[in-house]
Amino acid sequence: MAHDPLLRETDGGVATLIFNRPDKLNAMSEPLIERLDAEVAALEADRSVRVVVLKGAGERAFIAGADIEAYRGGNLKGFIAYQQRSRRIFDRLEALPQPVIAAVRGFALGGGFEIALCADIIVCTEDAQFGLPEGRLGLSPGGGGTQRLTRAVGKYVASELMLAGWRIDGARAHQLGIAAACVPAQELDEAVAARVRSCLKVAPLSQAEMKRLMRQGVDASLPTAKTLEQEVLYRLFMTQDGLEGVAAFLEKRTPEFRGE
């Protein structure tokens, strides 16, 4: 079988996507993007998947960015097609109804950092290295990095990464609130698993709606965002899962959520 640049493992409602080009630090080649496109489309429609985990193969990288080899020679048409496609995929990844957890070990640079920024929760190792080094190539980010990073940490920290090309390590990413946790490498799997277990206890419709509220709220005025929030709550209140969650609490039992 041909080499698969993106592996998928599914285990009891948890889908793990593994970027699988370890000898190239999982740099995003055209075939890898192609596979990510297909997997994101499949996940959008798959209600049996409750949580998505993203990770890189090997010990050195989550993803070290777009495959720079493909940029050689200045093929603008191909470049634009690649950038537009990755933007669309990243937006869809961010908008998945399920919680997405990025498990970052080693380099998360350029498009790799941009993908992590599309996740809902980032857990990283102490040796993680986050950066947007495109300026060092005479380029700039194209997968939402200038916007998502700036909104996440503000202009001044984002400028250090982009204008000075600095990278931040796992501890700093945690301190800045980018990473939910920063752990020694041997503890990464358990740190992710703990969050997966907790995500599985939260109702899926609630998760999908809260994700949407957080996304839409960024572009809405505060009163509008609060109105959207209450509309969501009223809808959830009358769902099967809303009724079940309240009943289960009062009956002192574990709720059984069905995503309805």
* Residues with catalytic roles: 114, 134
Shortest distance (Å) from residue 71 CB to ligand COA: 7
Shortest distance (Å) from residue 93 CB to ligand COA: 18
Taking every pair of Cα atoms in the chain, the longest distance, rounded to a whole number of angstroms, is: 66
Instruction: Detail the DSSP E strand segments found in the chain.
Output: 6-11, 14-19, 51-56, 61-63, 100-104, 107-109, 121-125, 129-131, 168-169, 181-183
Check the CA dihedral 113-114-116-117 and report its sign.
positive
Shortest distance (Å) from residue 154 CB to ligand COA: 22
Shortest distance (Å) from residue 66 CB to ligand COA: 4
Taking the least distance from each CB to ligand COA, the nearer of 57 and 191 is 57
Q: How many CB atoms lie within 10 A of CB 12?
A: 9
How would you write 181-239 as a 3-class SS string? Answer: EEECHHHHHHHHHHHHHHHCCCCHHHHHHHHHHHHHHHHCCHHHHHHHHHHHHHHHHCC
Taking the least distance from each CB to ligand COA, the nearer of 68 and 220 is 68
Provide the CB-side half-sphere exposure for 230 (13 A, CA): 5
Which residues bind to ligand COA, rule: CB under 6 A? 24-25, 27, 64-69, 107, 109-110, 133-134, 137
Taking the least distance from each CB to ligand COA, the nearer of 69 and 219 is 69
Taking the least distance from each CB to ligand COA, the nearer of 80 and 194 is 80
Provide the CB-side half-sphere exposure for 155 (13 A, CA): 0
